[in-house]
Structure 1
Amino acid sequence: MDISVEHLREHRERPSVLKTELASIRSHDRCALVFVLEGWDDAKAYEVWIRRATPGLRWEALVAKGKKKSLAFREMLERDTTGLRECTYFIVDNDYDGLAGAANGLDLYILPAYSIENLLTHPEVLGSLLTTEFRLIGDLKSKTRVINLYRKAVADFSTCVRPACETLHASKRKSAGNVTIDDRHLKEIQVNLEAVVTLDPKALSLLVQTQQTLEQHALEAARDFFDSADPGLWTRGKFIMWFFKEWCSKLMADRGSPTPIVFSNTLAECSFSGEWSAIGSLAARSPLPLGLEEFIRQAAKICSASCGKTSSQLLTGNS
């Protein structure tokens, strides 16, 4: 990702903007539970996930526009003496760098996956889509077959982009200057229902590039990581989302084909609804991120105690 003067200015100024926004929230409700999220897509997913995990919980969101800005704001609040830090919690992606040099704490939740897209493309999401979008009803054998085929396709796709992900992983662990990610090179991967293959390895190698040569020990650490990692959870989220939409489009074409490969019968009138791939829709179908419910409930409990409220008052909105 190229770094411009405007990007650096935004990085410096954003925490101050967030502090002003938080102060505005606190002026109306000193005890408001606030979650600072990386971006707007995260806000859409966590709004659904938090509502599922803790129905009735009152909370507000702040959008940091990036992990570094979120953690910089967290560091700023640690120096604040006005009480803004109370009831303020942070949720970030893993991104291969976890804490990214920040101190761990009860106010910080790190997604146990590369990013939200890895949960939004989980096999459970496909299982739900098979019912509502593909109208596969009462045929558990076919549903199991499709989901198993998807799992294999995810593994094949992850193999195709593994060198790019290893480069990203290594660059997070050791500075390599600017890192350029060009998603257009994903088109060098041919996605079919039963096979995912690289068409032009040389062109695909341009998917992720670093300004400086990566150190060998950083690359070896990346290889060790991916040797044991779940490909669905740890392939870069934007890559896996691109693949998910491609594969599902092929699956829908097969659903309406007079000679289907995967389905046992044709359903020509079947087609995607307009919001099938919207983040909120996918989040409603996905498993909850591991540990999120416990983090949210603990945050509510600590916030309630610091404000002299009970947890039930914060959950129900009673004053």
Structure 2
Amino acid sequence: MVELSQQTRGAGLIDSMRKAREIPQVVLQQYSSIRSKGENSLICVFEGNDDLPYYGTVFRLVANDHTFAPILSKGKEQLLAFRQLLTKRELNDPNIAYFIDRDFDGFKGYPEGDDVYCTDGYSIENQMVGPDVLYDLLGSEYKCEASNDSACVDAIVQHYGARLNEFVDVMRPVNQIIYYARKNKIPLSGIENKIRKYLKFEDDAVVATDNDVFELVGWPEFIDYSSVDFNDQAFLELDPIIDWRGKFLFGFFVEMLTYYKADRTSEQPKHFGSKIGVKFDPRGESVRVFAVLAPVPDALRRFILRLPGRMGSQ
């Protein structure tokens, strides 16, 4: 484990205390604004803007009689700090639920509870992508079923699986660095999520770029990473597709869908039987599409069905 200097520790503590004072209060203001209107409806607190399209879609799939007022915090730390603040103020509100990504750091030392849904894998992005979603998209948006081109679907899914294995090899050291930083409370200044910064396609293979991954993940300059042993047996036991950083996996999935779209609409497709126009834009507002096609995790389904506010629920 890397030891931080006393000055660095002190600066980090002051900064974290300042954020702990400011951000939960901002979220508390949103909460108070909702409750001050005399509404006792269900409130769902999410980590940020990216969560609402996914959870909103899942709510409609699982329990379309549910309505809720959303509160968007600025990250998991702020969400959990707000929850703790609400508890300390002895505001026992039974009509509030929290949704967080497990990431590499779980509940970050905050208490768990039945009012919090934590993803089974790293994040909601891990739950939205995979072969099952690819199968559905190829059949519908890429028009394999309508064009009697279904024979190519299995081959494309196999092709995707091979590229996915290469993705895992390229992104292993990146995830390993982030894992180490989270477990040892090393502050990262900002993780670059654009997957093209980390990998590229050469001769139909996924390979690493020449970019410095330590710069890409925001490794602090005051820590010499050359002296760090990043090997950790616990990391090696993680499932790369489920337990590694979801935004990387999501970005890779979008890149592959874009590649297949370009091939489908080319004059001489390599993976499809013929050229056909595709309106679906993988780089567009695809979260809701993926959320509809992906299986809803059992734990999330049970959590939603237990929430107050459903017609006929107690």
TM-score (norm: length of structure 1)? 0.81
Farther-moved stretch of structure 1 (39-48 vs 285-294): 285-294
Partner Cα distance (1:187, 1:217) in 2: 23
Q: Deviations over 1:39-89 (max 9, x none)?
A: 011011100011111121122211111100000001011112344x32111
Preserved contact between residue 36 and residue 91 of structure 1 (Cα < 8 Å): yes
Structure 2: runs of 5 or more not aligned: 1-11
Structure 1 unaligned regions, length at least 5: 305-310
Residue of structure 1 aligned with 2:251, choices 234, 239, 242: 242
1:251-262, aligned counterparts within 5 Å? 251-262=260-271
Report if aligned partners of 2:194, 2:248 keep a CA contact under 8 Å in 1: no
Structure 1 residues 10, 217: closer, same or farther in 2, change over 3 A? Answer: closer
User: Take 2:194 and 2:247, find their aligned partners in 1: how far apart are those partners?
Assistant: 12
1:145 paired residue number = 155
Confirm or deny that 1:299 pairs with 2:307: yes
Partner of 1:308: none
Matched, 1:173 2:183: yes
Q: Percent identity?
A: 27
SS of the counterpart of 2:168?
helix
1:272-318 CA distance string (max 9 Å, x none): 35885432222122221341011112232xxx6xxxxxx53459xxx
1:44 counterpart (53, 78, 96): 53
What is the letter of the counterpart of residue 158 of structure 1? V
1:49·1:284 contact (CA, 8 Å) conserved in 2?
Answer: yes
Structure richer in helix, relative to its length: 1
2:64 alignment partner in structure 1: 55
Shift in Å, 1:111: 0.7
DSSP-derived class of the 2:109 partner:
coil
Q: Check conservation: 1:38, 1:66, Cα contact below 8 A.
A: yes
Distance 1:82 1:70, change over 3 A: closer
The CA distance in 2 between the partners of 1:215 and 1:203, in whole Å, is: 13
1:120 to 102, 105, 128: 128
Alignment of 1:1-319 (within 5 A): 11-29=20-38, 31-83=40-92, 85-137=93-145, 138-183=148-193, 186-191=196-201, 194-200=204-210, 203-204=212-213, 206-211=215-220, 212-213=223-224, 219-221=230-232, 223-225=233-235, 227-263=236-272, 265-273=273-281, 277-300=285-308, 312-313=311-312
Question: 1:115-164 CA deviation, whole Å, 9 max, x = no partner?
Answer: 22222222222222212321110554422222232223222112201111
Q: Residues 258 and 282 of structure 2 are in contact (CA less than 8 Å); yes or no, is this contact kept in structure 1?
A: no
In structure 2, the CA distance between the partners of 1:214 and 1:275, relative to structure 1 (3 Å rule), is: closer
Q: In the alignment, residue 133 of structure 1 is paired with which amino acid?
A: E
Aligned partner of 1:307 in structure 2 is: none
- Whichever residue aligns with residue 121 of structure 1, its letter is V
Residue type at the aligned position of 2:305: R
* Cα distance, 1:177 vs structure 2: 3.5
